[in-house]
Amino acid sequence: MTAGLAFSAAPDGVKSIDLPDIKTELAAGAEKDKAEKFCSLCHSLDYITMQPKFSKAQWTGTVNKMIKTFGGPISDDDAKAIIDYLAGAYGTGK
């Protein structure tokens, strides 16, 4: 657990906070490193780990959304590797 860090407000009219640096580990699997590298570009990895188990089709939809809708800079080969990893480590097996 990380303590809430100090903030200041007035007299100089500035309010600031420091966010804690909390890491989430991904489950073991081939190409886990690729998932970590690309997914972490925009968000923490708990976005992945909090999901229920998805089918390969569902993970494919999610990864494609990250690329097409959110502009993730991921090549087709890397996308395939990431989908395989997620479907394996966080999938229903279907």
Partner 1 sequence: MGFKEMSRRDFLKASGAMAAATAMGGPADLFASGPRMARFPEKTDLILMTSRPPQLETPMHFFKELLTPNDALFVRWHLANIPTYVDMKEWRLKIGGNIDKELQLSMDDLKGFEKISYTAVIQCSGNSRGLFEPRVAGGQWGHGAMGNVTWTGVRLRDIMKKAGIKAGSVDIAFNGLDSAPFPKVPDLVKSLPVDKALEEDIMVAFEMNGKPLTMLNGFPARLIVPGWYATYWVKSLSDITVLTKTFEEFWMKPAYRIPDNDCGCVAPGAAPNKTVPINRMTTRSFVIDPSDGEALVKGKDVKIMGIAFSGMHSIRDVIVSVDGGKTWGETKLGGDKGKYSWVQWFYPWRPTRSGNYTIMCKATNAIGESQPFEKLWNPSGYLLNNVEKVSVTVR
Chain residues that interact with partner 1, rule: CB under 8 A? 1-7, 9-10, 13-27, 41-54, 58, 62, 69-71, 73, 89-90
Closest CA to 89 of 30, 41, 22: 30
Least CB distance to partner 1 at residue 80 (A): 20
CA-to-CA distance for 42 and 72, rounded, in angstroms? 8
Rank residues 51 and 75 by Cβ distance to partner 1 and give the closer one: 51
Rank residues 48 and 81 by Cβ distance to partner 1 and give the closer one: 48
CA-to-CA distance for 73 and 82, rounded, in angstroms? 13
